Amino acid sequence: MKKQISRILATAILSASLFMTSCSDDENNSNKSTFVLDRENLKGEINDGTVTLESGTYKLTGKLIVKETAKLVIKPGVIIEATDATTDGLVRYIAIAQGGEIDVQGTASNPVIMTSSVKQPGGWGGLVICGKAPINKGLTASAEVSELTYGGAISNDNSGSIRYLRLEYTGYAYNSEKEFNGLSLFGVGSGTLIEYVQSYEGSDDAFEWFGGTVNAKYLVAFNGSNSVGDDIFDWTEGWTGTGEYWYGKRTNAGNRGIEADNNSNNHTATPISNPTLRNITLIGNGDTGSEPQAIKLRVGTNVNFDNLVLSNWKTGFDIQHNESLAFVTAGSLKATNVRFDNVTTKSKGTNTTSEAIDVTSVYTENANATGAGNGTGIPTWATGWTRGL
C-alpha cells in the first residue's frame, strides 16, 4: 500500500511539474516579439511582445517606437548611443506609444544611459512617452515631436517604470518651433513610475509634462553648455501630478528653472494644470540669460509648492495673466517654506493687460528650507549616478 501511495504521489508531482513547465513555456512564448534586435542598428517599431536590452551598448540609428501591447526592457548599465543624424537625416529618438510600456531597470551604481555620439546639446531627440491620461487640449491630441496620439480618460494609465536613467545631449530640433526635450511626458498616467532621472546638457527643456497625472520623484537637470537655451522643468495642458525631490542647476545663459502653463489658447481649459511640488532646489546663473527667472507661472496654471530653495536668480516668482493671479488671490496658488538665496526680486506679477500686480502673498519664507535635501548643495540621493553637478 505504501509503495502504491508513493507511486501516486510521484506521478502527481511529475504531472504538476510538467503542467507548470508547460505554463511557463507558454508564458515565455507569449512574450516573444517579432522585432529583430540588432545591437548596431537599433531602430524601427516594436509591435508585440517584450524586447530586452541585456547589457553593453546599443547604437540608436533612427526612431524606435514601442507600440501598444509591446514592452521595452532595459537592464542595468545598458548604454543606448544615438549615432550622428547628419549622416542620413534620420531623427534618433525613443517613443512609447499609448498602450506600450518601458521598463528601465537602472540602479544607483549602474544607471541606464541614453546618450549621443555627438557630445553636444541637440545631438539626438530624447525619450517620449504617450499615455491615456486626461489633457486639456481635447480628449486626445498628437504629440509634437513624434506625432503619436496621447491623452484620454484613464487617470491611472500605466506606461511602465523608469528608475535610474541618465539622458544626455537631447533636444534635437526640427526647426525653431519644434524640438525635443530630454524626457517628454504626453498624457502619462499615475500608474507609471518615474524615479531617479537626470537630464544632462539637453538643448530644450529637461523635463516637460503635457497634461496627464503622472508623479515624478528624484529628478536632476544640469545645463552648462552655451548652446542650452530653454527651461529646466516645464508643464502645460493640465498636468495634475505630484513632484518630489527635484534638483535643477544651470551655469549658462539658459532660461527659467520652471516654466508653467495651463493652456495658452484657453486659460480656463480643464483639467487645470495644478501639480503639487515638494522639496525642490533651483539654481540659476544670476542675471544672465533672456529670462533668468526661477519660476514663471502663466496662462491659468495653478500649483502648490512646499520646501523650496531658489538660488542665484534675477527673479524668484514671476506670475502672469488674470487666471493664474486669481489662484494667488484665492490662496490655492502658493509656496510655503521658501528660502531665497541671492535672488534680486523675490516676486513680480503682471495681469493680462500688462499692469503690475503685487503677488508677495504667494510665498512664505523659511531660512531653514532644505529644498531637494541639502539646500543649494548636491543632495545625497543624487550622488553616484548623475554627472556635471
Q: So what's the pLDDT on residue 252? A: 85
Q: So what's the pLDDT on residue 9? A: 41
Task: Point out the domain boundary residue: 197, 230, 263.
Answer: 230
Same domain? 168 vs 255 = no
Same domain? 269 vs 343 = yes
Mean pLDDT of 269-276: 98
Share of the chain above pLDDT 90, in %: 83
Q: So what's the pLDDT on residue 28? A: 45
Identify the band that residue 290 occupies on the pLDDT scale cut at 50, 70 and 90.
Answer: low
Same domain? 62 vs 199 = yes
Q: With contact defined as beta carbons under 8 Å apart, do 381 and 353 qualify?
A: no
Sign of CA dihedral 225, 184, 313, 309: negative
The answer for residues whose C-beta is within 8 angstroms of residue 275's C-beta and 6 or more apart is 209, 235, 239, 240, 241, 242, 243, 303, 304
Residue 297, judged by CB atoms within 10 A of its CB (0-12, 13-18, 19+), counts as: buried
Encode pLDDT of 311-341 as tens digits: 999 999 999 999 999 999 999 999 999 999 9
Is residue 236 one of the residues assigned to a domain?
Answer: no
Instruction: Say yes or no to pLDDT of 226 above 90.
Output: no
* Owner of C-alpha cell 531627440: 125
Q: So what's the pLDDT on residue 157? A: 98
Is residue 1 one of the residues assigned to a domain?
Answer: no
Encode pLDDT of 26-44 as tens digits: 334 559 999 999 999 999 9
Cell, residue 232: 529646466
Same domain? 269 vs 215 = no
Q: So what's the pLDDT on residue 218? A: 98
- Residue 183's domain comprises 34-230
Decide the pairing of beta strands 160-168 and 93-96.
unpaired
At 23, is the secondary structure helix, strand, or coil?
helix
Same domain? 111 vs 157 = yes
Encode pLDDT of 198-215 as tens digits: 999 998 899 999 999 999
Q: So what's the pLDDT on residue 229? A: 62
Mean pLDDT of 266-275: 98
Is residue 214 one of the residues assigned to a domain?
Answer: yes
CA count, 13 A, side-chain hemisphere, 59? 10
Give the length of the chain.
389
Is residue 21 one of the residues assigned to a domain?
Answer: no
Is residue 362 one of the residues assigned to a domain?
Answer: yes
Same domain? 294 vs 176 = no
The answer for residues whose C-beta is within 8 angstroms of residue 11's C-beta and 6 or more apart is none
Please give the helix or strand (H or E) that residue 141 lies within, else none. Answer: strand 141-142
Q: So what's the pLDDT on residue 262? A: 98
Same domain? 372 vs 307 = yes
Q: So what's the pLDDT on residue 25? A: 36
Is residue 235 one of the residues assigned to a domain?
Answer: no
Task: Point out the domain boundary residue: 202, 230, 258.
Answer: 230
Number of domains comprising the chain: 2
Instruction: Say yes or no to pLDDT of 47 above 90.
Output: yes
Same domain? 197 vs 259 = no
Same domain? 296 vs 204 = no
Can you tell me the distance from the alpha carbon of 81 to that of 55, in angstroms, rounded to the nearest whole number?
A: 13
Same domain? 218 vs 261 = no
Mean pLDDT of 163-176: 90
Mean pLDDT of 53-72: 98
Can you tell me the distance from the alpha carbon of 312 to that of 283, in angstroms, rounded to the nearest whole number?
A: 6
Task: Point out the domain boundary residue: 230, 261, 288.
Answer: 230
Q: So what's the pLDDT on residue 176? A: 65
Is residue 74 one of the residues assigned to a domain?
Answer: yes
Cα angle, residue 30 at apex, residues 105 and 101 outer, rounded to 5°: 35
Q: With contact defined as beta carbons under 8 Å apart, do 61 and 41 qualify?
A: yes
- Report the DSSP beta bridge partners of residue 278: 244, 306
Encode pLDDT of 342-375 as tens digits: 999 999 999 999 999 999 999 999 999 999 999 9
Identify the band that residue 149 occupies on the pLDDT scale cut at 50, 70 and 90.
Answer: very high
The answer for residues whose C-beta is within 8 angstroms of residue 104's C-beta and 6 or more apart is 74, 112, 160, 161, 162, 163, 164, 165
Encode pLDDT of 227-237 as tens digits: 766 789 999 99
Encode pLDDT of 90-111 as tens digits: 999 999 999 999 999 999 999 9
Same domain? 207 vs 263 = no
Encode pLDDT of 113-127 as tens digits: 999 999 999 999 999
Instruction: Say yes or no to pLDDT of 154 above 90.
Output: yes
Closest to 168 in 3D by CA, of 215, 121, 101, 216: 121
Same domain? 161 vs 54 = yes
* Owner of C-alpha cell 542650452: 228
Q: Beta-strand (E) ranges in 41-131? A: 42-46, 50-53, 57-66, 71-74, 79-82, 93-96, 101-105, 112-116, 127-130
- Compute the CA torsion angle 118, 120, 123, 129 (nearest 10 deg): 130
Is residue 64 one of the residues assigned to a domain?
Answer: yes
